[in-house]
């Protein structure tokens, strides 16, 4: 029983590693400034400079819209970031990182519960043949 739990844990962590790798690739995506209304400035680590439609951006770059106006950065696959007027924003690629929403919260919860159940099974299987037992201390 312990061996099957160990295999399940290894397979589970391998899956999470592959999913994390795919997410890391998505986080490296570059975006394009597709809309610039008003004065739009971009800082990619060299200080703020004027930016126009077609400017290439990545996560971590800062976008500032001075006064009235707006900017839209498109990272592809229906992932856009809108920066409203009179705002400075550090870009985060949508879908990148572990922001807890309804889907990632469910995944994190399932991993936590699954890990707890696997640990309980592994710790309670002492070879006595009594099956699934949770030890209780007095």
Q: Cα–Cα distance between 69 and 56 in angstroms, integer?
A: 19
Count Cβ atoms below 10 Å from residue 55 Cβ, excluding itself.
Answer: 20
pLDDT digits (tens, 9 = 90+) for 42-90: 999 999 999 999 999 999 999 999 999 999 999 988 899 999 999 999 9
The pLDDT value recorded for residue 131 is 53
The pLDDT value recorded for residue 43 is 97
Domain boundaries, the chain: 2-26+97-124, 30-90
Nearest to 71 by CA among 94, 49, 55: 55
Residue 126 pLDDT greater than 70, yes or no:
no
Is the pLDDT higher at 16 or at 98?
98
């Amino acid at each position: 029983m312990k061996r099957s739990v160990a295999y399940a844990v290894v397979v589970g962590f391998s899956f999470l590693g592959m999913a994390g790798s795919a997410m890391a690739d998505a986080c490296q995506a570059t975006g394009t400034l597709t809309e610039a209304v008003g004065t739009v400035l971009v800082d990619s680590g060299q200080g703020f400079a004027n930016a126009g439609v077609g400017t290439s951006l990545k996560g971590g770059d800062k976008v500032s819209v001075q006064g009235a106006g707006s900017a839209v950065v498109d990272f592809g696959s229906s992932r856009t970031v809108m920066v409203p007027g009179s705002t400075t924003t550090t870009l985060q690629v949508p879908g990148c990182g572990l922001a807890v929403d309804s889907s990632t919260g469910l995944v994190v919860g399932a991993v936590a519960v699954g890990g707890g159940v696997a640990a309980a099974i592994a710790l309670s299987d002492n070879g006595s043949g009594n099956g699934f037992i949770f030890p209780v201390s007095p």
